[in-house]
A = this chain, B = another copy of it.
Amino acid sequence: MKILVTGFDPFDKDIVNPAYEAVKKLPNRIKDAEIIKLEIPTSFERSKIAIEEAIDKYSPDVVLSIGQAGGRNDITIEKVAINLIEARIKDNDGSQPLDTTIREDGETAYFTNLPIKGMVSHIKENNIPATISYTAGTFVCNSVMYNILYLINKKYNNIKGGFIHVPFLPEQAAIKNPIPSSMSLDMICKSIELAIEAIVLNKQDNKLVSGETH
Residues of chain A whose beta carbon lies under 8 Å from any beta carbon of chain B: 67, 69-70, 73-74, 79-80, 82, 84, 86-88, 98-99, 107-111, 117, 124, 127-132, 134-139, 141-142, 165, 170-171, 173-175, 177-184, 186-187, 206-208, 210-214
Contact = CB atoms under 8 A, between A and B. Distances in A.
8 contacts: A73-B180, A84-B134, A86-B132, A86-B211, A88-B208, A129-B179, A135-B212, A165-B214
Contacts of A206: 98-99
Contacts of A84: 79-80, 111, 134
Main DSSP-derived SS at the A contact region: loop
Number of copies: 4
B170 A88 contact: no
Nearest to A110: B108
B137 A213 contact: yes
Nearest to A168: B129
B181 A184 contact: no
Contacts of A138: 134, 211, 213-214
B127 A174 contact: yes
Contact of A137 (B73, B107, B183, B214): B214
A166 B171 CA distance: 17
A84 to B, nearest CB: 7
B109 A139 contact: no
Contacts of A80: 82, 84, 108-109
